[in-house]
Amino acid sequence: MGVRPHIHGDENLSDSAAQESEKEHTSHCFDYLRQAMMCSADMTIEWAMEMPDGNPPFTVDGWGITHKCRDWEQVLKWMGEHRSPVNSSGIA
pLDDT tens digits for range 59-78? 777 666 666 677 888 888 88
Distance, CA of 45 to CA of 21 (rounded, Å): 22
Task: Write down the domain spans for the chain.
Answer: 4-82
55 pLDDT above the threshold of 70: yes
pTM of the prediction?
0.33
Which residues is 49 bridged to in the sheet?
Answer: 59
Name residues whose C-beta falls within 8 Å of residue 47's C-beta, 6 or more positions apart in sequence.
60
Q: Are 34 and 50 in contact (CB under 8 A)?
A: no
Q: For residue 6, what pLDDT band results from cuts at 50, 70 and 90?
A: very low
